């Protein structure tokens, strides 16, 4: 089963558009583990156990593991999720952006070493930086398109004088991802929840691509506006353009006590229900 099919099946099975981001910061761990990087796997595994029936995806951010020399714990976590939540696709948040043989190695890292179902990529270097990932049948490639950080305006909002209609860079990227670049039918786009108007524009240009939307929760994105801007259904209710709404810190650090996993579940459940209410 390919990534998009896995995603849609998990959304239907768990009635959920929620993705939980796994961004472990030992300094923020519960008090009994605070500052202990050797507990990264244990912390994340507890979050997975508490939320695996409430989500459509998990998204570990590789930097939070690598910074603590915890790549082995990430491998262990990926294997654990495959055993205990095989119905939930896993997105490796790596934002890779190189070309040629280097991109081939990054793809091997994501899909072979870590066994991810999809990986986030920075497309700044063009299609050359995307194509090596598309050689992996069934694997997803999720491209940064309109990010939620203020500095995204430096590039993403610039108009392209040499392209008919002079679209902004993020608009041109969305159109390419929907058409020319989508050679394996497995592309998706990252669009920040802090810009619902631009989510709607991306959805207009890429009507069928999954949209990974970070920024709901601790970053202040509006859940209702996000769903209305990004989700599309056919007249019969079938989802034709799906969304994957990520929340990380609000779920992970809902409590610093020994009840952290139970608190994470409560926040994840509330967020899932909020997204679903907006989708109906």
Nearby residues of 261 by Cβ (< 8 Å), 6 or more positions away: 46, 47, 49, 50
Which is catalytic among the residues 28, 39, 52, 95?
95
- Gap between the Cα atoms of 259 and 30, Å rounded: 9
Residues whose CB is less than 8 angstroms from the CB of residue 116 and which lie 6 or more positions away in sequence, other chains included: 78, 90, 91, 92, 110, 139
Tokens for 275? 């997204």
Q: Which two tokens stand for residue 43?
A: 């912390």
Beta-carbon contacts of 62 under 8 Å, excluding residues fewer than 6 positions away, are 74, 92, 93, 94
Tokens 């472990």 belong to residue = 24
| CA–CA separation, 195 and 240 (whole Å) | 21
Question: And the tokens for 222?
Answer: 């509006």
Query: Is 108 one of the annotated active-site residues of the chain?
Result: no
Active site residue ranges:
95
């Amino acid at each position: 089963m390919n990534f998009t099919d896995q995603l849609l099946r998990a959304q239907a099975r768990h009635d959920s558009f929620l993705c939980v981001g796994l961004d472990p910061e030992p300094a923020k761990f519960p008090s009994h583990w605070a500052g202990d990087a050797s507990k990264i796997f244990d912390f994340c595994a507890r979050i997975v156990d508490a939320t695996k029936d409430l989500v459509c995806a998990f998204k570990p951010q590789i930097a939070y593991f690598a910074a603590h020399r915890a790549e082995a714990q990430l491998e262990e976590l990926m294997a654990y999720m495959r055993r205990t939540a095989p119905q939930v696709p896993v997105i490796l948040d790596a934002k890779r952006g190189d070309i040629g043989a280097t991109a081939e190695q990054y793809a091997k890292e994501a899909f072979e070493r870590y066994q991810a179902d999809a990986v986030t990529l920075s497309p700044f270097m063009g299609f050359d930086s995307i194509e090596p990932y598309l050689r992996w049948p069934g694997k997803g490639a999720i491209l940064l398109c309109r990010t939620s950080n203020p500095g995204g305006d430096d590039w993403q909002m610039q108009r392209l004088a040499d392209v008919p209609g002079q679209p902004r860079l993020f608009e041109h990227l969305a159109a390419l991802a929907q058409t020319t670049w989508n050679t394996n039918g497995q592309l998706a786009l990252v669009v920040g929840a802090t810009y619902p108007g631009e989510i709607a524009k991306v959805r207009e240009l890429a009507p069928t691509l999954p949209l990974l939307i970070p920024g709901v929760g601790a970053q202040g994105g509006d859940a209702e506006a996000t769903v209305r801007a990004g989700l599309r259904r056919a007249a019969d209710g079938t989802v034709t353009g799906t969304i994957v709404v990520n929340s990380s810190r609000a779920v992970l650090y809902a409590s610093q006590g020994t009840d952290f996993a139970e608190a994470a579940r409560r926040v994840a459940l509330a967020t899932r229900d909020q997204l679903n209410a907006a989708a109906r």
